[in-house]
Chains A and B, each alone.
Chain A
Amino acid sequence: MQPTIDMDRLHQNIQTAHRAVAEIKRLGEDFPSVARNAERMLASLKMLEINVCDVIELGGMHREDR
């Protein structure tokens, strides 16, 4: 039996992380080492969004689906 996974909480934390890294990138516009590393972090965060957020944002995902 698969363990229960708190998808809602994962989703919320990924969104929070995305907002934080996007802000870091914006603040680092004149700071190449910050901007480029933030860009790469956003690409990694996109993979979390693909793995977690897309299906949550469907809205119709039932509890028993998780």
Chain B
Amino acid sequence: MNYSQPYWNPILETLPRKTLRALQLKKFQRIFRWAYTHSKFHRALYQTAGVAPEDIRTLDDIRRVPTVEKSMMRQIQGKDPYPYGDALCVPLEEVTVYRQTSGTTGQPVYQPDTWQDWEWWAECWCYILWAQGYRPSDRVFIPFGYNVFVAFWAGHYAAEKLGCEVVPGGVLDTKARILKIQELRATALMGTPTYILSMAETARLKMGIDPSGLCVNKITCAGECGASIPSTKRRMEEAWGAKVYDHAGATEIGAWSYECAAQPGGLHVNEAMFLVEIIDPETGQVIDAPGRRGKMVITAFDRQALPCVRFDSKDVIEWAAEPCTCGRSFRLIRGGVVGRADDITKVKGVLIAPSAIEEVVRGIKGLGDEYEVVVDKTGDAETIRLRVEVLPEAQDQCAWIQSELEDQLRLKTNLRYDLEICGCGTLPRYEVKAKRFKDLRGKKSE
């Protein structure tokens, strides 16, 4: 086998755009018909909208198909066929695995998959890992709690499928994981940016181990957008002496995008497996031009038990202007997922994405990796407080750091913050998805 082949699928990943669009139409027609004929929930939704499988003749016709939101999936679950409700497209006995969403935005959504769906999940991840240079010679350490959350399960299966040696770092604590990475000379890691940084900090400060001296040469991140935030990516790469790659996926969708080895400052959408539409939240029109942000509506072409057809993900993305130098014809989204429509909020009349604050904090030398943002309201006055940690070696530069932080925040987010400089190690640490942005407005009893 040719391990220097740069593409997991040299045909689909380099398909001319016209052929790729034709393939997407064919695959959309197929999954739409599947959902229409196998799911009571989907059929009722489509009949109400007056659209049937035979109406989808062109890619433009796809806009007639109503979108599905997470709240709709919450409403149908807990009913028969229990617990998934009537969107389930296969007999219950064909479901081989249960997962659920993390519940970041409310009640977790249940996700059934058949064995074929699970093969598909791993297949999508194979595109990611191969593009990021994973090969059978890699020993991949996965420091993840192997539980009801999909997280790195599919990454594990995909790495096995590629032929890598996988070390499941399940119930070990952080120190034990670092020792195991060291002992086994693991060459690759998967984790959330939060945890990758936290592991490096633990290794350095609590164990006297320099992570960049270990054998890890590549890290695949998921679960948070940090690996696409330049300052966060840089911190991880410097800490571990490794290339850090981003990927975006979701429990209800699948692993739909990946950063390639060229690190083009964005993620390739796997357009052979998914149809991504960017929708202008104001007008509802599709955005095809690069550089304009909108929310992502996405279809997974080959997921059967609980189809994902025009799912309104609330992820905020934009198309990149230039194609990638890697040769893939799959389009790039610039800067990865830049936020969630739910997260982008107005403070003091200014729209703000939490990722913009992270970019500033992680870009200032002397600040630790952790931070916390608290938005509150007293009377009519809104406040935004930013808590940061200054590293022990930078304690004598506090005044400069504070001034730089104020300037950068004003420049990048157009807001003035109440800053709080905390001692190193005082802010909360997270192992999976961090909750650093706290909006207390409307949460207090009046």
- A residues whose Cβ falls under 8 Å from a Cβ of B: 2-3, 5, 7, 39-40, 42-44, 46-47, 50-52, 54-55, 57-58, 60-62, 65-66
> At the interface, yes or no: B302 with Cβ under 8 Å from chain A?
yes
Q: Which of B161-181 contact A (CB under 8 A)?
A: none
Q: Given A47-B119, A54-B27, A58-B23, answer yes or no on A5-B11 (Cβ-Cβ < 8 Å).
A: yes
Q: Can you list 17 pairs linking A and B with CB atoms under 8 Å apart?
A: A2-B14, A39-B115, A40-B115, A42-B116, A43-B118, A46-B116, A46-B119, A47-B119, A50-B120, A50-B123, A51-B9, A51-B11, A52-B11, A55-B15, A58-B19, A58-B23, A66-B11
User: Can you add 12 more A-B contacts, CB < 8 Å, to A51-B123, A61-B19?
Assistant: A3-B2, A5-B11, A42-B116, A43-B119, A46-B116, A46-B119, A51-B11, A52-B11, A55-B12, A58-B23, A60-B19, A60-B22
Q: Given A60-B22, A61-B19, answer yes or no on A55-B119 (Cβ-Cβ < 8 Å).
A: no
Chain B interface bracket (under 10, 10 to 19, 20 to 34, 35 or more): 20 to 34
Closest A residue to B117 by beta carbon equals A43
Closest B residue to A46 by beta carbon equals B116
> At the interface, yes or no: B10 with Cβ under 8 Å from chain A?
yes
Q: Given A5-B11, A54-B27, A55-B11, answer yes or no on A65-B120 (Cβ-Cβ < 8 Å).
A: no
Q: Which of B1-36 contact A (CB under 8 A)?
A: 2, 9-12, 14-16, 19, 22-23, 26-27
Residues of B within 8 A of A46 (CB): 116, 119-120, 302
Whether B119 pairs with A65 at a CB distance below 8 angstroms is: no
Whether A47 pairs with B123 at a CB distance below 8 angstroms is: yes
Specify which of A3, A5, A51, A65 is in contact with B19 (CB 8 Å cutoff): A65
A46 to B301, CA, bound (A): 13
Chain B nearest CB: distance from A54 CB in Å? 6
User: SS class of chain A's interface: helix, strand, loop or mixed?
Assistant: helix
Closest B residue to A7 by beta carbon equals B11
Closest B residue to A44 by beta carbon equals B119
Residues of B within 8 A of A57 (CB): 26
Q: Which of B263-308 contact A (CB under 8 A)?
A: 272-273, 302
Whether B115 pairs with A58 at a CB distance below 8 angstroms is: no
Whether A54 pairs with B26 at a CB distance below 8 angstroms is: yes
Whether B10 pairs with A5 at a CB distance below 8 angstroms is: yes
Chain B nearest CB: distance from A53 CB in Å? 11
7 tightest CB-CB pairs across the interface, nearest first?
Answer: A43-B116, A43-B119, A47-B123, A43-B115, A51-B9, A46-B116, A2-B10
Residues of B within 8 A of A52 (CB): 11
Q: Indicate the member of B11, B114, B119, B302 with the most A CB atoms within 10 Å.
A: B11
Whether B120 pairs with A47 at a CB distance below 8 angstroms is: yes
Chain A nearest CB: distance from B7 CB in Å? 8
Closest B residue to A52 by beta carbon equals B11
Residues of B within 8 A of A47 (CB): 119-120, 123
Whether A65 pairs with B115 at a CB distance below 8 angstroms is: no
Residues of B within 8 A of A7 (CB): 11
Residues of A within 8 A of B23 (CB): 54-55, 58
A43 to B115, CA, bound (A): 7
Chain A nearest CB: distance from B33 CB in Å? 15
Q: Mark B24-61, 1 if CB is under 8 A from A, else 0.
A: 00110000000000000000000000000000000000
A51 to B9, CA, bound (A): 7
Chain A nearest CB: distance from B204 CB in Å? 41
Closest B residue to A39 by beta carbon equals B115
Q: Given A58-B19, A61-B19, A66-B11, answer yes or no on A50-B116 (Cβ-Cβ < 8 Å).
A: no
Whether B10 pairs with A65 at a CB distance below 8 angstroms is: no
A52 to B15, CA, bound (A): 12
A33 to B23, CA, bound (A): 36
